[in-house]
Structure 1
Amino acid sequence: MLKGFAPVTGAHPRVLILGSMPGALSLRASQYYAHPRNQFWPIMGMLVGAEPALPYPQRLARLTAAGIALWDVFDRCEREGSLDSEIRDDTALTNDFRGFFTAHPDVATVLLNGGKAAQSFQRRVLPALPDLGLRCVRLPSTSPAHASMRLDAKRAAWRDALQAAGIAAA
């Protein structure tokens, strides 16, 4: 059984970015989006200054300073390899989102990094939550497995979503 990470939050996040479950390399490194070909940190570098060249704690500090929290839909699951398609849904347990949103009432937007995160959040998490008026946006996956979309197009989609949520993104 794989175990995910704790959420990364600042004092008053307004946006929550959710993946599905950290990949094998991320789990080994104990860092979100640690795969060198994942485009999450290059995109966040361009948009909020969380450059991939910065040490990991500084990247997280840049995200939280911008009002962004980071987490995953699943707390634990069984999966062979790193692909979302390999997550065994019958073993997947979601994180405590009721507790998260109670502790972080300023979060109004959830940005879902890819299809598995979006599908799982909408099917397994939202129905169990009270109506919080959350704005949920499915974004193109930053995973290296989603190579059919160019980096500039992904960056534009992420920029637009962050700006719509009131996050100053370049």
Structure 2
Amino acid sequence: MQESFSFGPVFDRNSKILILGSFPSVQSRAAGFYYANPQNRFWRVLAAVYQEAVPETVEEKRALLLSHGLALWDVLERCEIQGSSDASIRGAVPVDIETVTREAKIRRVLVNGTTAAKYYARYLEAKTGIPAVCLPSTSPANASYRLERLTELWGAALLRKEG
């Protein structure tokens, strides 16, 4: 297994919801940006929730996130991983979550799948003080969830009013 590294977060001072994946896939690592595998439904789900066109470029993806107060990162900064398999993760090193929480007033944390939830609970929840909402993974490996159901569940979490 080879050690791989993630890339930095997408956020600004207006970000209120932090979405965390586990670790970038092979395609995302090659592209240098999140959810680059065209079979991953992440960008289609967000576009449907916010009733916008599916973003194609990195700039469009960043704009979609930031225009809705979203921050995006992964739970792990680096690890040893075989391909894109979360099950193969070894030597996990968490991100410095304060990079985001120092500058943005994060009110809610959503995690993309159970692996992200596990590592968030283990390494980061005590630092943020915010329990994560675990959503079904948008990965193509999660074939039990259709796009419509993912959009419904993610939309309920993203559009929930504070309070």
Does the TM-score normalized on the shorter chain lie above 0.5?
yes
In 2 relative to 1, CA 36–130 (structure 1 residues): closer, same or farther, beyond 3 Å? closer
Cα deviations across residues 107-139 of structure 1 (Å, max 9, x unaligned)?
110000000000110112223x163xx252000
Partner of 2:142: 146
Superposition deviation, residue 24 in structure 1: 0.3
Superposition deviation, residue 101 in structure 1: 1.2
Letter in 2 for 1:158: W
Partner of 2:117: 118
Consecutive unaligned residues in structure 1, runs of 5 or more? none
Partner of 2:153: 157
Superposition deviation, residue 100 in structure 1: 2.3
Superposition deviation, residue 84 in structure 1: 0.9
Counterpart CA distance in 1 for 2:128 and 2:62 is 29
SS of 1:78's equivalent in the other structure is strand
Q: 2:35 aligns with which of 33, 36, 40?
A: 33
In 2 relative to 1, CA 150–57 (structure 1 residues): closer, same or farther, beyond 3 Å? same
Task: Work out whether residues 101 and 107 of structure 1, in 8 Å CA contact, stay in contact via their aligned partners in 2.
Answer: yes
Letter in 2 for 1:15: I
TM-score (normalised: structure 2): 0.91
Structure in which a larger fraction of residues adopt strand: 2
Counterpart CA distance in 1 for 2:52 and 2:139 is 17
Partner of 1:107: 106
How many aligned positions are there? 160
Counterpart CA distance in 2 for 1:50 and 1:82 is 28
TM-score (normalised: structure 1): 0.88
In 2 relative to 1, CA 95–53 (structure 1 residues): closer, same or farther, beyond 3 Å? closer
Task: Work out whether residues 26 and 32 of structure 1, in 8 Å CA contact, stay in contact via their aligned partners in 2.
Answer: yes
In 2 relative to 1, CA 34–51 (structure 1 residues): closer, same or farther, beyond 3 Å? farther
Letter in 1 for 2:18: L
Cα deviations across residues 34-72 of structure 1 (Å, max 9, x unaligned)?
001000011011123564353221121121111000000
Superposition deviation, residue 102 in structure 1: 1.8
Partner of 2:71: 69
Task: Work out whether residues 55 and 64 of structure 2, in 8 Å CA contact, stay in contact via their aligned partners in 1.
Answer: no
Superposition deviation, residue 158 in structure 1: 0.2
Structure 1 position 4 matched with structure 2 position 3: no
Q: 2:58 aligns with which of 51, 56, 59?
A: 56
In 2 relative to 1, CA 46–124 (structure 1 residues): closer, same or farther, beyond 3 Å? same
Task: Work out whether residues 50 and 58 of structure 1, in 8 Å CA contact, stay in contact via their aligned partners in 2.
Answer: no
Report the RMSD for the aligned CA atoms in angstroms: 1.6
Identity of aligned residues (%): 36
